Amino acid sequence: MQTAEVVIIGGGIVGSSIAWHLTESGCRDVLIMERESHQGKGSTGKSMGGVRAQFATPVNIQMSLYSIPFYASFEAQLGLPSEYRPQGYMFVATRQSHLDYLTTNQEVQKSLGLTQVRMLTRDEIVDMVPQLRADDVLGGSFCPTDGFVDPYSVMVGFTTRACEKGARLWRSTEVTGIICDNGRIAGVETTRGPVSTPVVVNAAGPWAAQTAALAGVALPVEPLRRMLVPTEPFDGVSHAIPMVVDMTNGFHFRPEGLGFLLAWNDPEETPGYKTDFEPAFIEKVLVRAADRVPCFENLAVNPKRAWAGLYEMSPDHHAIIGPVPERPGFFCANGFSGHGVMHAPATGRIVSDVILEGTSSIVENAEVLSPGRFARGALLHETAVL
Ligand SMILES: Cc1cc2nc3c(=O)[nH]c(=O)nc-3n(C[C@H](O)[C@H](O)[C@H](O)COP(=O)(O)OP(=O)(O)OC[C@H]3O[C@@H](n4cnc5c(N)ncnc54)[C@H](O)[C@@H]3O)c2cc1C
């Protein structure tokens, strides 16, 4: 029988970050299982690639305070690109309650060391994006170290370097069962045969709940469709602008290639494995785009280039990270609720630390993300979800 010190189920950005962090810490006998013939066919390949530290809760802010500098030095550390572009995130407030919310969050962000984040006046917002309709804008916030990465490159970089240090990636290999012995993890059943291992990490993205069920663990992660619309080339707005978030309705956009990438969280979306792009979404997002940026009414869109992917939603919109006490040897790295790319480096580090040392100090209290918090009723509350 094949053996491994650690088996990681899922070769997306999260699984590959965990593999890299483990190998960096000296744990080299790591086996990543990916059921697809290529990595990136899950959420990672569908992502908008946004990275930000402008969150409400300390743990999310601290996850970003590890991850964003990590992305900034990714190429120096790994010798491969992350395509990190620090163009910032700009939140645009049209109600006093938005401004109060941004101000409160900034106090927490600054107290944790995010020094560059600042409030903006309406004039400063217009200076940054002159094409924005600002008659109802009261102000906003901006952090210049927020920005974008290329999730696919990051995933490939992590995997490449992890494999050079001894990790293995089995493509086209589905984990179909998890073997336990006296309640402890003992191995996995796969379409390539069984593998003996004392440690299994669930990094199965939107399929996390089924994967946990193989180990007899109930994990509250649900898939939720999100759609993105890339535009055709458009130079009516600068390509140096930040990710702009219209807090009136959650519409947000950023430069992408020669055009822009448009996103909006449709409140009518319901959980499920729906990955078809819904053509009616184009009209919905374009209406909101032209409302905030009038010249966007001239945007051209090719519906064939638009796509849909799955968020992996947890009940409190925070990741679920750590060991499952009732199943020794089973670890979760799931439920990122739209933040799995920006938090992949921190997650890799925390999971690696917890497997190898039993604890991690890169965030003040990684325990708050533990899978057991739902049973204890210790849910977190993140309101800055896009
Ligand atoms: C439209 C969209 C926009 C997004 N925008 C952002 C953003 O701007 N910023 C951000 O931070 N996040 C964003 N996200 C979220 C982010 O993409 C995800 O949180 C992240 O990619 C999760 O990575 P993962 O590795 O956990 O999951 P995945 O990339 O889904 O990888 C999981 C892998 O597990 C494999 N797998 C599942 N079950 C098994 C099994 N039994 N055996 C073997 N393999 C298995 C799957 O094939 C898959 O490849 C976005 C997501 C979407 C859909």
Q: What is the DSSP string of 319-370?
A: -EEEE-TTSTTEEEEE--TT-TTTTHHHHHHHHHHHHHHS---SSTTGGGG-
Q: Which letter does DSSP use for residue 6 in this model? A: E
Residue 35: its pLDDT value, please?
A: 98
For atom 22 of ligand 1, which residue has the closest CA?
340
Report the predicted TM-score, pTM, of the whole model to 2 decimal places. Answer: 0.97
CA of 43 to the centre of ligand 1 (A): 3
R_g of the chain computed on alpha carbons: 21
Q: What gap in Å lies between CA 367 and CA 364, rounded to an integer? A: 9
Contact present, 293 and 126 (Cβ < 8 Å) = no
CA of 42 to the centre of ligand 1 (A): 5
Mean pLDDT of all residues in 196-216: 98
Residue 383: its pLDDT value, please?
A: 73
For atom 25 of ligand 1, which residue has the closest CA?
12
Contact present, 43 and 207 (Cβ < 8 Å) = no
The band of 113, judged by pLDDT with boundaries at 50, 70 and 90, is very high
For atom 12 of ligand 1, which residue has the closest CA?
339
CA of 182 to the centre of ligand 1 (A): 32
| Residue 307 confidence (pLDDT) above 80 | yes
Ligand 1 probe mutation, 31, 44, 83, 382, most atoms within 8 A of CB? 44
The band of 381, judged by pLDDT with boundaries at 50, 70 and 90, is confident
Ligand 1 neighbours by CB, cut-off 6 Å: 9-15, 33-36, 41-44, 46-50, 174-175, 203-207, 211, 226, 228, 309-312, 336, 338-342
Q: What gap in Å lies between CA 127 and CA 144, rounded to an integer? A: 15
Q: Which atom of ligand 1 is nearest to the CA of 203?
A: 26
> How many other C-beta atoms are found inside a 10 Å radius of the C-beta of residue 177?
12
Q: 217-237, pLDDT tens digit by residue?
A: 999 999 999 999 999 999 999
Q: What gap in Å lies between CA 96 and CA 103, rounded to an integer? A: 11
Residue 276: its pLDDT value, please?
A: 97
Residue 50: its pLDDT value, please?
A: 98
Ligand 1 probe mutation, 33, 38, 48, most atoms within 8 A of CB? 48
Residue 309: its pLDDT value, please?
A: 98
- 175: exposed, middle or buried (C-beta count within 10 Å: 0-12, 13-18, 19+)? buried
Contact present, 194 and 2 (Cβ < 8 Å) = yes
- pLDDT, averaged across the chain: 97
CA of 24 to the centre of ligand 1 (A): 23
Residue 386: its pLDDT value, please?
A: 62
Q: Which atom of ligand 1 is nearest to the CA of 214?
A: 41
Residue 384: its pLDDT value, please?
A: 64
